[in-house]
Structure 1
Amino acid sequence: MSTPTLVKGARASRSTIALKLLMAGSGFLFLGFVLAHMYGNLKAFGGRKAFNEYAEHLRVLGEPMLPHGGALWILRVGLIVALVVHVYCAVVLWRRAARARTTKYVMKKDTGATRASLMMRWGGLAILVFLVWHLLNFTIGKVNPQGGATNDPYLLMVDTFDLWWMTLIYIAAMLALGAHLHHGIWSAAQTLGWTGTAVKRKRAKAFGFVTALVISIGFSLVPLAVLAGIITK
């Protein structure tokens, strides 16, 4: 192999590692946000006052140094940047893997890694579509599917999940998120070198599974409670 080819291969390898590190870093940022968001959602079990006070606290965070809602917009911009980085890295890495593959996978030769990769790709797309819908429903558009109040976070939440099909969409998205986190945390741990031994691999897999389970169940509790009549207006 010629020297230019070796140099080109080394650069591509470094670039791939950098992309994986960016994916892992942005992924952990999202993980922190998702955990905080889940905690906020669970305030709904405390009633309308507790939930709305939490929502208002986020809007006044940082005042008077920041304008009303300023901290929320900083957080939103940061998450959008992290999302763009995460999606860009995922697309570039997928295209590189596709180019490097010399033969198409067939069912008999399919591997767990292949299935996990497909699940991550399509699961990530499903989460992205849900995220747009979620923002239109609760944050930017504040669209109440029942035509009720949109300036009251608690009532907007109850009116949304009081519809069985809206709850079903939400639960399906949480299952996709759980599956994405389960494999994503494991992949990030590999990228960061946290799976060097059998014990570390076992811990990383356990951490990914438990985290995915907690988040999926935690986010699903509120819509199911609304649908069951436990959380009401």
Structure 2
Amino acid sequence: MTKTRSPIRSNVGLKAVMAVTGILLVLFLIAHMLGNLKIFTGETAFDHYGHWLRDLGTPLLPSTWFLWIQRTALLVAVLSHIAAATVLAARARAARPVKYAHRKAVRGSYAARTMRWGGVIILLFVIYHILDLTTGHLNPKGDPSNPYGNVVADFAPERWYVTLFYTLAIVALGFHLRHGVFSAFRSLGQQTPRGERRARAAALVLAVALCAGYLAVPFAVLTGLVA
């Protein structure tokens, strides 16, 4: 009796998994960026926002439960995204087991060539970010009652290396998004020259907007605009 491969394990199914999880992660990134930018409204407003996130879902759910449900869902999305990408890459290599004796250099985008190491940097950054501003273990202040103070302490001028690492991770995220969003548009049928130009432009605008939004906070603290 021949076993039938589950549709979700087919190449089309795995690409669908990457697309769905990618959309979920992009939506989270946009919402998280907008929340971060509330720091420019002042300490009181930002702290209120931070406490509101912790109490979201109450009294139906105990305090912070919604955040942990959200974090669990995001973790599943990230792991599914990585797993699907890994399997697809392995299948692509297996489909061409013998390397070409001679092959001309292919001119690819910088983002496409750096998707793998960019993904590793982003993953390491997410782990650090959670230990820093979520659990507070790596934050010099680590006070759950004062989110504004935690951010200011984290990106203080003497901790320039944190801002540097943050910048590196966000730039890697930007390249990852630019390539990923463009690929998603192509999968949706934007394969005419005009469609590809529009897809590239949309992917670039989204990546630049998210990078600018995320980097605005650490550099505002570093330069004293937020203190």
Q: Segments of 4+ in structure 1 off by > 4 A?
A: 104-108
Deviation at 1:75, TM superposition (A): 0.9
Equivalent-residue separation in structure 2 for 1:89 and 1:149 (angstroms): 36
- Structure 1 residues 63 and 228, CA gap change in structure 2 (3 angstroms): same
Preserved CA contact (<8 Å) 1:16 1:93: yes
* Structure 1 partner of 2:143: 150
% of aligned pairs identical?
Answer: 41
Which amino acid letter does the alignment assign opposite residue 61 of structure 2? L
- Structure 1 residues 212 and 157, CA gap change in structure 2 (3 angstroms): same
**Structure 1, unpaired ranges of 5+:** none
* Structure 1 partner of 2:153: 159
1:211 corresponds to which of 206, 218, 226: 206
- Structure 1 residues 119 and 221, CA gap change in structure 2 (3 angstroms): same
1:118-155 Cα offsets, whole Å, 9 max, x none, are: 311111111011111111111134422xx334222111
- Structure 1 residues 105 and 28, CA gap change in structure 2 (3 angstroms): farther
1:88-109 Cα offsets, whole Å, 9 max, x none, are: 0011111112222331697842
1:144-199 Cα offsets, whole Å, 9 max, x none, are: 2xx334222111111111121111111111100000000000111222x2314333
* Higher mean C-alpha displacement, 69-78 vs 34-43: 69-78
Structure 1 residue 224 and structure 2 residue 219: aligned?
A: yes
Deviation at 1:204, TM superposition (A): 1.5
**Structure 2, unpaired ranges of 5+:** none
| SS of alignment partner, residue 225 of structure 2 | coil
Equivalent-residue separation in structure 1 for 2:208 and 2:101 (angstroms): 30
Superposed, 1:19-34 pairs within 5 Å as 19-34=14-29
* Structure 1 partner of 2:85: 90
Which amino acid letter does the alignment assign opposite residue 207 of structure 1? A
Quote the RMSD (CA, aligned, Å): 2.4
Equivalent-residue separation in structure 1 for 2:176 and 2:210 (angstroms): 11
Equivalent-residue separation in structure 2 for 1:217 and 1:105 (angstroms): 44
* Higher mean C-alpha displacement, 92-101 vs 24-33: 92-101
2:50 corresponds to which of 33, 48, 55: 55
Higher relative contact order (CA 8 A, sep 6+): 1
The TM-score normalised by the length of structure 2 is 0.89
Equivalent-residue separation in structure 1 for 2:111 and 2:102 (angstroms): 15
Which amino acid letter does the alignment assign opposite residue 148 of structure 1? K
Structure 1 residue 169 and structure 2 residue 165: aligned?
A: yes
Equivalent-residue separation in structure 1 for 2:100 and 2:69 (angstroms): 44
Which amino acid letter does the alignment assign opposite residue 153 of structure 1? P
Which amino acid letter does the alignment assign opposite residue 44 of structure 2? K
Aligned residues: 221
Which amino acid letter does the alignment assign opposite residue 114 of structure 2? M
- Structure 1 residues 42 and 103, CA gap change in structure 2 (3 angstroms): same
- Structure 1 residues 72 and 105, CA gap change in structure 2 (3 angstroms): farther
